[in-house]
Chain A
């Protein structure tokens, strides 16, 4: 992976943030992943991933408005940085290269 180190779950979170664009905060990201990928996401796990992504510089965040539903607490909105975009592209590219390197016969299961 070189200098763009990113885990599978982190990748998913990063992509979800990109999809949601200006509406990416804790709960919406969680929902997005749960709906699209049909998997359960815990608040703690997602938070850990978001923090790490921010530490690595793939994400940046700012505070939004406070609402009553959140007990008067502000949201933190996330945005993918250009650096984050490069990381995602790099990941996709490596995958692609790997796929192309697979000989056709390897996945030819007909006569096995």
Chain B
């Protein structure tokens, strides 16, 4: 019997012992292990083997202390020695072939920095609305219409919705509403001042809010009580930054605020909230309470008008699907009922088409592309698009590494052969080349991080975000480490398998042809790189063209040189005088007061219209009704097709001017002189040409009507000047005469217009930036391959030259191969790019056709860049003195 067997009953588990041996330093292992074994043995005798084993495990874990651990310098196994050698050889190779190494690392680093930046972007996009304690129970209520004539989802409901839900559905804990629509009474922007001060300041970010919503959204408070801050009528909650601005160093709760010089309704500050985190879907600075608010008599119980966005906090364990079904009660008992009362013929159809949906709060930011709402948000498709692009750029970098490593394999073949002869197994060589690629990837990631850090400010400009690299986050360093390993593995796996497969006999005999084996695969990868580059370039071109198309499209109004002076409502009765005063300036051509302007962020007013007397018989058409003054049409440069504009005649109070689309929709044969109605009857006095008053991304021009009004907070001024600075000074001095306590605030119509397409512009910029990166990475790879090719065929070229080959012939021989690859890439990229761009453009109502010239330009560009890259080495080879190539060995 072997001596170990005798003690088998009492000896501790082998695997635990092994762990102990693994981490324990040699000088302490013997006595320590002895002590532990002795204890184990004694316990096994006095108690049980199980208990002894259990304590043994605990004790082994316990002795995991500093004194017992292995010191690095002490351990000197073959294993680590080999790794040292691998790294030394890798390091020497890196410096021996400086050009190839820098090409590999450069391409890698660019790809990695692109990937890092996009990751930051995506991380930020995904972080929206994830921080609520009860986030899984917070929902936004959506109205869904599946009516084929008017499908869509929206967030607006009549005022009573929250009360009805709260009273009828016990599973709802809280229900609260918000009115985020700028221009709805004091929602949007206002002139703001403390009651005890005179100076007005323009502030944005106002919304009407229920007390309950303050609690549902868990808005953190600095001062005041979250459960009571908006409880009193005319109370208001302001953000921390605004509190610091107007009440530096004091607690503003209980202070009084005057909005727009309206001293009849002062607002009381009920609380101060923390500023909204940038990754919340709502971004406001001022909440005005809805408590006791009634915008017109009976408004709070009238189911006519849909202006409130409700949010719910449901009780734990509530199934949103079930609740959605139950919410249909609201449709039947309130919405349909109201429609029936109004004599709407389609009331019953509502039952068929209308439903309510609950959207989890965390989905709002990215999954609301099909929802009409008032919050700015991201688009999950853009996020995926960016991820795909970044992934491709990274992949291109990896391909460079693979291609150059396998191409230059001949240099390493002897090493592989020798290592094998002295006893390396294939696995060892795989390890060697993997550790080499890890080293490359580590260097590249570090450089990539630096690059990303340098490029971050520019990227922030491109993406319209404020991102930063979370250097100090606890997960950052481990993640980067994992990333290094992943990239190293991705790029190093194929080369290591390829290189380790050399048979020593072939290598040492010298019969291995120089890295030509996988040239087909290399060609395929180059083709892949250039296909990607071409598609990205085509994409960038198309996005830019589409943007130009939108920005320069004939709009139906003239957006150039229109100054919008904001906040003119505080002028009160003096507004007409101010306007007249401005008109005396020679540079001012025209001026008009109206809050309704053809850019987003200005007022809108949707109405149903009928031909006169047919409201009970026909289905109404949806049309905008804009209050404008008599000078609006001239100031905006809108074309009057028939009839006349507004005059000062008293009868014009019921006059209406409609656009072509409205004529068509109402089926009016002789529009001028016809009568139409919404709440009242209107006389059509003119028809204007359609103009774009909504974003051209989704919507066609809708029906629109203009009616007479002389009020508003925006005075649009049409200028005719080349001296914009001087003009602005004159306008400003006029303003100061009237409003010494309020700074003039203005924007230009064309700027606002450009802002409407900010996201298209951002997409275009990102596309451009990444296609540039892609082509750089691909060119680096190509340059490396061409250099390798020239090097490999150096002798052949020299001999050809000696035999009389001309420069052209040599150049052709060297570049033809690459030319073929580029042409093949082009052939693949054209249909691929076409499909992708067709898909993207389908999201636009007004879009450009995809012309062949885009592909031609992209193709020629890529061809030119590729040829320039390849030519450098080829020309050098073609002009070099052949004796140089033949002299060596």
> A99: shortest Cβ distance to chain B, in Å?
34
In the complex, per-residue mask of B61-73: 1 if CB is within 8 Å of any chain A CB, else 0: 0111111100000
Whether A95 sits at the interface, judged by CB under 8 Å, is no
B7 at the interface (CB under 8 A from A): yes
A68 to B34, CA, bound (A): 10
How far is B68's CA from A86's CA once the two chains are assembled, in angstroms?
Answer: 28
Which of A10-18, A41-49, A102-110 lies on the face that meets chain B?
Answer: A41-49
Q: How far is the CA of A25 from the CA of B67 in the complex (A)?
A: 17
| Interchain CA distance A74-B28 in the complex, whole Å | 11
Partner among B7, B32, B38 whose Cβ is within 8 Å of the Cβ of A47: B32
Q: A47-B28, A51-B67, A74-B30 are in contact. Are A27 and B62 (CB under 8 A)?
A: no
Q: Give CA–CA (A76, B34) in the complex, Å.
A: 9
Identify which of A43, A66, A75 contacts B36 (C-beta below 8 A). A43
Q: Is B62 a contact partner of A71 (Cβ separation < 8 A)? A: no
Q: Decide if B625 is an interface residue (CB 8 Å cutoff).
A: no
Q: Is the Cβ of A27 less than 8 Å from the Cβ of B38?
A: yes
| B35 contacts A by Cβ under 8 Å | yes
CB of A37 within 8 Å of the partner chain? no
Chain B: interface residue total (CB-CB under 8 A): 22
Please determine whether B37 and A71 come into contact, CB atoms closer than 8 angstroms: yes
Q: Are B62 and A42 in contact (CB under 8 A)?
A: yes
Smallest CB gap from A73: residue in B? B34
What is the CA–CA distance of A62 and B653 in the complex, to the nearest angstrom? 112
Q: Which residues of B contact A42 (CB under 8 A)?
A: 59, 62
Does A71 lie within 8 Å of B34, measured CB to CB? Answer: yes
A25 proximity list for chain B (CB < 8 A)? 31, 35
Question: In the complex, are the beta carbons of A48 and B34 less than 8 A apart?
Answer: no
Measured CA separation A30–B65 after assembly (Å): 17
How does the 8 Å CB contact mask read for A61-102 relative to B, with 1 for contact and 0 for none? Answer: 001001011110111100000000000000000000000000
For A43, give its contact among B7, B11, B39 (CB under 8 Å).
Answer: B39
Give the residues from 689 to 738 in chain B that come closer than 8 angstroms, CB to CB, to chain A.
none
| Other-chain residue from B7, B63, B64 in contact with A71 (beta carbon distance below 8 A) | B7
Contact A75 B31 (CB under 8 A): yes
* Separation of A75 and B31 alpha carbons in the complex (Å): 6
| Whole-angstrom CA separation of A26 from B40 in the bound complex | 13
Chain B residues near A68 (CB-CB < 8 A):
7
Q: Which residues of chain B have C-beta atoms less than 8 A from A48's C-beta?
A: 65-67
Q: Which of A25-59 contact B (CB under 8 A)?
A: 25-27, 30, 42-45, 47-48, 51-52
A43 touching B41, Cβ below 8 Å = no
Chain A CB count within 10 A is highest, among B28, B31, B63, for B31
Cα A44 to Cα B20 with chains together (Å): 12
Q: In the complex the two chains form, what is the Cα distance from A69 to B31 in whole Å?
A: 13
A70 touches B59 (CB 8 A): no
- Chain A: minimal CB distance from B342 (Å): 82
Residues of A within 8 A of B59 (CB): 42-44
Question: How long is the Cα–Cα vector from A52 to B68 in the complex, in angstroms?
Answer: 12
CB of B33 within 8 Å of the partner chain: yes
Q: How far is the CA of A42 from the CA of B67 in the complex (A)?
A: 15
Known A42-B62, A76-B31; further 12 A-B contacts with Cβ < 8 A? A26-B31, A26-B32, A26-B38, A43-B36, A43-B62, A44-B59, A45-B62, A51-B28, A52-B67, A68-B7, A71-B33, A74-B34
